[in-house]
Each structure stands twice: as C-alpha cells, then as structure tokens.
C-alpha cells in the first residue's frame, strides 16, 4: 500500500493522529477535495499530490493513534507503516508537518506520559529530527483555544523546546485549517524550503 510514491525528488509530508484536521489542511494547500474514510483508520495508504510540473510531491500520510472501533494491532500497523515511509524517503523529504489538535494535545500527551508511555506526537516530533527532516508542528483548531500562549508554551515544554513558543515560529505554527487561517504554517514551511534552497516551491505554500 505504501509503495506507490510518485517518482518525484522533493517532498513535504503531513503526519498526525486521526481527526486532527489533516484533510482540511491538505484541501487548503491543494485546492483538492478528497474522500476520507467514513470511519477513522480506514485510509491505509498515503495520498500523493504531484499535480505541479515541478519535481515535487505533497503527501498526506494515514492518521494513527487511537481510533474507535479499530483494533490496537491495526493501529500499530498503521503507525509502523507511517514511520517506515518517512524513514525510507527521508533524503527526499524537505519538511515534515506534524498536525496536532491544539485543544486536546496537552491532555493526550499527559495521559500517555502518566501511563509511562511515550506519546505518539512527541515520539514522531523527535523521530523527524532524528532522520534529519525539519519538523513543523501545525497546531490546529486554535480558534477553539482560549489560553493560546499558555497552551503553546506547554506544548513546547512537552516537545523539549524552551518556551516561550514565539521563539520557535519556524517549528510551532498555530493555525485553524477550517477557517483558512494557515499563514503561520505557510511561513514555517517556507522558512525550511528557503533553507533547503528550494525557493521555487514557495508558491505552493
């Protein structure tokens, strides 16, 4: 399922738990509406967008983590496939966008930490760094968050970044995909594309 990657040299990937708004965000960037499974965990393969003439592909990887009605074995298999895809294609991936739900992510991270587990979001953030892919955390649904700065500072602490969050604008991007408020993410991705000397791709973000 994961071996259908288009033959494109450069890639930006979107990863994250199920139901964090990745599909809405992809629609903002691509203008394409695409079907998502009626039930979380149904989509098992990446969605690739290689509509541009440039040597470039935008990839939406399947959501992972807890999904109601999906056995743990299958959830783990999805996560393993996502990690393997990123690892296999790391040399082509210019930016890894980790999409999280700004409203619930702190509670989810703390719940896993209290159980002695490494939370998926934290694990994936460090994994992207370990394979030399610049991570950008798209903190979605921020329109539903009241204590914005406190919440983003708390997120930084849990990711091992020193607050205040404002000094990490190339890494932490508070957005609301549903409202089309994604400029902080566009700027963060743009920063890394510029660093990679790929200003030709800035027009997509």
Measured from the Cβ of residue 81, the count of other Cβ atoms closer than 10 Å reads: 18
CATH of domain 10-34+44-198: 3.40.50.300
pLDDT tens digit sequence for 188-203: 999 999 999 999 999 9
Element holding 195 (H helix, E strand): helix 183-195
Q: What pLDDT score was predicted for residue 53?
A: 82
Band (77; pLDDT cuts 50, 70, 90): confident
Q: What percent of the chain has pLDDT over 70?
A: 91
**Regarding predicted confidence, which is higher, 47 or 75?**
47
Rounded to whole angstroms, the Cα distance separating 121 from 19 reads 14
Inter-axis angle of helices 120-130 and 105-114, nearest 10: 90
Q: What is the pLDDT of residue 61?
A: 92
Instruction: Please classify residue 158 by burial: count the beta carbons closer than 10 Å to its beta carbon, then call 0-12 exposed, 13-18 middle and 19+ buried.
Output: middle
pLDDT tens across 151-183, in order? 999 999 999 999 999 999 999 999 999 898 999
Q: How much is the pLDDT for 39?
A: 53
How many angstroms separate the CA atoms of 141 and 51, rounded?
Answer: 28
| For range 119-138, the mean pLDDT | 96
Angle between helices 120-130 and 148-159 (to 10 degrees): 60
Please give the pLDDT value at position 73.
83
pLDDT band at residue 24 under the 50/70/90 scheme: confident
- The chain-wide mean pLDDT, for the chain, equals 89
Name the least confident of 63-67, 71-75, 106-110, 134-138: 63-67
In the numeric block, the tokens 């790929």 are attached to 198
The yes-or-no verdict on residue 42 having pLDDT over 80 is no
Q: What pLDDT does 34 receive?
A: 57
């Amino acid at each position: 399922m994961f071996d259908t990657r288009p033959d494109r040299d450069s890639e930006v990937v979107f990863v994250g738990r199920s139901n964090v708004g990745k599909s809405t965000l992809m629609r903002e960037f691509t203008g394409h509406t695409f079907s998502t499974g009626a039930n979380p965990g149904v989509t098992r393969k990446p969605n690739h967008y290689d509509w541009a003439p440039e040597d470039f592909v935008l990839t939406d990887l399947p959501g992972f983590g807890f999904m109601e009605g999906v056995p743990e074995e299958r959830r783990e298999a999805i996560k393993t496939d996502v990690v393997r895809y990123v690892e296999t294609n790391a040399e082509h991936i210019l930016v890894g966008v980790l999409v999280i739900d700004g409203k619930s992510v702190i509670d989810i991270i703390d719940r896993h930490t209290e159980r002695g587990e490494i939370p998926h979001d934290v694990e994936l953030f460090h994994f992207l760094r370990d394979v030399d892919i610049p991570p950008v955390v798209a903190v979605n649904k921020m329109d539903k968050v009241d204590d914005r700065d406190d919440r983003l500072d708390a997120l930084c602490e849990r990711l091992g970044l020193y607050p205040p969050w404002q000094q990490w604008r190339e890494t932490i991007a508070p957005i609301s995909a549903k409202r089309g408020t994604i400029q902080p993410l566009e700027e963060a991705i743009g920063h890394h594309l510029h660093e990679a000397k790929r200003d030709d791709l800035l027009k997509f973000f």
